[in-house]
Amino acid sequence: MAMKFTKDNFKTEVLESNIPVMVDFWAEWCGPCRMVGPIIEELASELSGVAKIGKVNVDEENDLAREYNVMTIPTIMVFKEGSMVERIVGFRDKDELKKLLDI
pLDDT value of position 103? 72
pLDDT value of position 64? 96
Across residues 26-39, what is the average pLDDT?
97
Phi, psi angles (nearest 5°) of residue 40: -60, -45
What global pTM score does this model have?
0.96
Is 33 an active-site residue?
yes
Catalytic residue among 30, 35, 47, 84: 30
Query: Is the domain covering 3-98 a CATH 3.40.30.10 domain?
Result: yes
Catalytic residue among 2, 23, 33, 76: 33
End-to-end CA distance of the chain: 19
Is 21 an active-site residue?
no
Domain positions in the chain: 3-98
CA distance 38 to 10: 22
pLDDT over 90 at 41, yes or no: yes
